[in-house]
Amino acid sequence: MANTLTIAVLQHESSPGDLNANLQRLTTTAADAASQNVQLLVTPETSLCGYNLSLEANRKVAQPAQGDLTDAVSTLCQQHNMAIAYGFVEQDGDSYYNTVQLIDKTGKILQRYRKSHLWGAMDNALFTAGDAILPPVTIDGWQVGMLICYDVEFPENARTHALAGAELIIVPTALAGDWYTVAERVVPVRAYENQLFIAYANFCGEENDCHYAGRSCISGPDSEDLARAKTDATLLVATLNKNSIDSIRKEIPYHQDRLPSLYKAITS
């Protein structure tokens, strides 16, 4: 079982509504990441179509879970021997979801997660909420869970992943500038209190009338950043080590000392 995992987090400006431009960016980024021996590449929320869209534009860029877009990303994964997590608007019948899909290095879909906690009027107008926090999946011997943006601001979600054995949670996001404290404070705390790694991938720059916060990060189980972006486009790369998880869990036994019988009220 691999003790380390090299991951990359892409922070980029959105090209709203332009699937081809966003796919070309991912193609270039995957090649760059592969040159740095990256095993898992994480992109922002709805990275392949844009986030701050009108209802009409959102519907135009919506894709099936398995279609040409999936095939293109699957090819990249196989070409570069790398797993990729990418965000898109998923159409399933008459429903539209804010979805992140994780494809492994063989080109196989490992998991498709639909954002469960929708943010504000826009999210609720555009999307149907997902109805499940899915169990972690295995990437090169690591247990990896997925959340999207606002999901990580609810401690129960990250704790659910931790209790299911997650060692890394990936969080594609579209965090606006006014809420930068989530990236700078909440994400490292989530990593610390659950004693695992979190990879948080945000947009930067402007998209329509939205200014993004940037500040993507890879935070460790001790709450320290292995990598942290500012507000420009960049590719963060870091190698995670399971020894960090083992060490902090021995030093501070949060998991062992939990008293679930006292917490029943928070699930109601």
What does the alpha-carbon distance between residue 76 and residue 238 come to, in Å, rounded to a whole number? 21
SS3 113: strand
Buried-exposed string 132-158: b where 16+ CB fall within 10 A, e elsewhere: ebbebbebeebbbbbbbbbbbbeeebb
* Selection from 45, 85, 46, 69 nearest residue 202 by Cα: 45
What does the alpha-carbon distance between residue 158 and residue 196 come to, in Å, rounded to a whole number? 10
Which are the catalytic amino acids?
45, 115, 149
Positive or negative torsion for Cα 223, 227, 233, 235: negative
Instruction: Give residues with Cβ within 8 angstroms of 48, minimum separation 6.
Output: 19, 22, 23, 26, 69, 86, 87, 88
Overall residue count recorded for the chain in this entry: 268
In DSSP terms, 34 is beta-bridged to none
Cα-Cα end-to-end distance for the chain: 38
Nearest-10 crossing angle of helices 187-194, 155-163: 30
Paired tokens of 140 = 């090169």
